[in-house]
Amino acid sequence: MSKLLKFAIVLLTSFAICACGSGGGGGSDLPVAGDTVTPGTPGAPITPGTPPPVSPGQLGPLTDIGDLVGASDVNWLYTKAVAINDNGQVVGTSLTNAAAFIWNPAANAMTWLGLHMDFVTGADKYYDNYYEPTGTKPFIWSDAVDVNNSGWAIGNSNTGAKDADGNFTEKRAFVSDGATFIDLAPVTRNQITGVYDVIKSYSAAVAINNNGYVILNVEDADSGNRHAYYWNGANYEPGAAPDGSDVPRLVRLGWVNGETSEAIAINENNEAVVNSGKTAVYTNINTGFSQVLNSILNDEVARATDINNKSQIIGTSGKLGFLWEAGAMTRINSLGGDSCTPVDINNMSQVVGSAKAASGATHAFLWQLNASGVPVMNDLGTLGGANSFATAINDAGWVVGYSDVGRTLQDATGTYTIKHAFLWVNGVMYDLGVHNDFYDYPFIDSYPFSEAVGINATGTLVGNSTSINVNSRGFVLTPNLP
C-alpha cells in the first residue's frame, strides 16, 4: 500500500519554528519558551486521560541503517527511510536525494537500486528523446518509494527539476531488487485502437504489492494529462520502445471521464484506489470492475488515502474522514475539533491518522468498531507536548508516528519544538528517542528530532532521526516491550 500520503506532512510539521512555550503549565522544573533542554529530560505534563510518558529509548536503542558510502566516520551523510517489508528490508534515499537504496538487515548493508543513467557513458540509456522538446536533461537522482516482501522495490529517477512547491517535475519510474533494473517507461496502448502511444515525459511509481503489481502515474501521450496505471509485473509490450526493446505493459486504472486521475494505494487482492475529479475510484484489477465512491455529502470532495485487504477504503470527505465498504460510506469524526485525516488502515479494520481536538491541538487517533459494531474514536494522546501524528498501523494494532515531547530546543536560528518517534501499544505511547550522537564535540544534539514512518507484521519499525537543518538518518527498531 502507498505510504506517500502518510509522510507528506512529516517534514512540514516536524521542524517548524515555535514562537510559544512548551505545553502544560506549573512546576519550576518544567521548561519554558527559550529554554535549551536536552532530549530525554522530563517534559511538561501531558493531557489528562492520556498514558504517562515513557522514558526515551526504553524499548531499545535505535539501529542506524548507515548510508551508501558505508564509511564509519561519515555519519553526517543523509539517509531517509520510507518503507519496510515483513522481512525487515528497508528502502529510502541516501546522499541527499541522489540514490535510492534497499537495506538488508542480515548483512546490515545497503544496495543501490539504480538510476536511469549510464554512468560509464554519461548518457541517458533510456531513450535520448525522452524529454520533450529538447531531450537534453539527464537523470541525476533517484528515490525509493515502496518495497514488497520479495525484496522488489519501486522508485523514480528525476532530473532535479522542481516546481514552485519543491516537487520533482521530471520523473521516470522503475522496479529494482538491486540486481535487476526494470524501466517503467510511460508507453501505453490505446485501449480503443490498440495502437501504442508515444513515449512521453513522466511516469512516477506509487506502490507495489506482494504479487508484484505496481501502480503508477503516467503522462498520457495524447493529451499530456496524467492518469493512474498499473503493471502486473509480467506483461510486456514487444518492441514498443524507440530502440525496439520490450516495455512493461501499462494498463489504465478506473477514472472519472474527462478528469485526470492519481494512483493512491493497492492491496494484496490486486484492488486499487485512485483519486479522480472530485471523488475516488475503486478498481478490481483481476476483473476490471471499477466503481466511483460516493461522498458523504454531495458538495464534498472525497479523497482516498489507503485500501486494506478487506476492500475497505479510507480517506477524507470535506474536512472529516470516511471508511468506504461495498458502496457504504461511514463518517470518521474528529476528536472534538473541525478536521480528521485518516492515513492507514490494517486488515482488522482499524484506522489511524490525526484529528483536531477541541483545544485546537492535533492528536493521533485510533478508530475502530467495538464488539457491538459501534464506531469508537480513541485519542492516543501525546508524549507530553501539544500535538501527535500517527503514520502507520500493523495487524496487531501497533501504531507508530511522532509527537511533540513538551520541550523546545534553541540555537542561533530560532526555537524548535522537539518531536520524537513513538510506538503506541495497548494504551501506552512509548518515546523511541533519537539516534545516539555521532560526534565527539557536538555544540547541540546532532539529531534532536525523530519520526517513525512504518511498521511491519512482526513489529519491527522504521523511521528517521533529523537534525535542525533537516539532515536525516534512518533507523530500525525491534522493540523490547516491558
d(Cα 136, Cα 421) in Å, to the nearest integer?
A: 42
Q: What is the pLDDT of residues 70-86, one digit of tens each?
A: 877 777 889 999 999 99
d(Cα 251, Cα 254) in Å, to the nearest integer?
A: 10
How is residue 201 annotated by DSSP? S
Which pLDDT value is given to residue 160?
A: 81
Q: Which of 126, 262, 250 is nearest to 188 (CA)?
A: 250
How is residue 260 annotated by DSSP? -
Structural domain boundaries, residue 384 = 4-477
Mean pLDDT, consecutive 10-residue stretches, the chain (482 aa), reads 43 32 30 29 34 74 92 82 98 86 95 75 46 55 96 92 85 92 76 57 92 93 80 88 78 92 98 96 96 76 96 95 92 94 97 96 95 91 96 98 94 90 96 86 83 98 93 95 90
Handedness of CA 88, 344, 473, 122 (dihedral sign): positive
> Is residue 229 assigned to a domain?
yes
Give the dihedral of Cα atoms 409, 444, 54, 420; nearest 10 deg.
70
CB 440 within 8 A of CB 450: no
Beta bridge partners of 420: 403
Helix (H) or strand (E) holding 204: strand 203-208
- Write the secondary structure of 226-253 as one string of H (helix), E (strand) and C (coil): EEEEEECCCCEECCCCCCCCCEECEEEC
Which pLDDT value is given to residue 192?
A: 59
> Is residue 482 assigned to a domain?
no
d(Cα 144, Cα 100) in Å, to the nearest integer?
A: 5
Q: Quick check: helix, strand or coil at residue 11?
A: helix
Handedness of CA 167, 169, 172, 178 (dihedral sign): negative
d(Cα 381, Cα 372) in Å, to the nearest integer?
A: 25
Beta bridge partners of 15: none
Which pLDDT value is given to residue 50?
A: 47
C-beta atoms surrounding 132 within 10 Å: 12
> Residue for cell digits 500535538?
387
d(Cα 185, Cα 241) in Å, to the nearest integer?
A: 9
CB 266 within 8 A of CB 215: yes
Helix (H) or strand (E) holding 409: strand 399-411
C-beta atoms surrounding 230 within 10 Å: 24
Cell readout for 139 is 537523470
> Is residue 99 assigned to a domain?
yes
User: What share of the chain in percent tops pLDDT 70?
Assistant: 78
> Is residue 212 assigned to a domain?
yes
CATH of the domain at 211: 2.140.10
Strands 203-208 and 214-219: antiparallel
Residue 5: phi, psi to the nearest 5? Answer: -65, -25
How is residue 310 annotated by DSSP? T
* Total number of domains constituting the chain: 1
Instruction: Show the beta-strand stretches assigned E in 213-335.
Output: 214-219, 226-231, 236-237, 247-248, 251-252, 261-266, 271-276, 279-284, 289-292, 302-307, 313-317, 320-325, 328-332
Which pLDDT value is given to residue 127?
A: 42
Q: Quick check: helix, strand or coil at residue 277?
A: coil
Distance from chain centroid for Cα 225: 24
Which pLDDT value is given to residue 120?
A: 45
CB 215 within 8 A of CB 207: yes
Angle of CA points 247, 251, 254, to nearest 5° = 160
> Is residue 239 assigned to a domain?
yes
Which pLDDT value is given to residue 129?
A: 40
What 366-373 contacts at long range (C-beta under 8 Å, 24+ apart), as own/partner pairs, is 366/390, 366/393, 366/397, 366/399, 366/424, 367/321, 367/323, 367/332, 367/342
Beta bridge partners of 215: 207, 230
Q: Quick check: helix, strand or coil at residue 459?
A: coil
Q: Quick check: helix, strand or coil at residue 84?
A: strand
> Is residue 42 assigned to a domain?
yes
> Residue for cell digits 489507503?
306
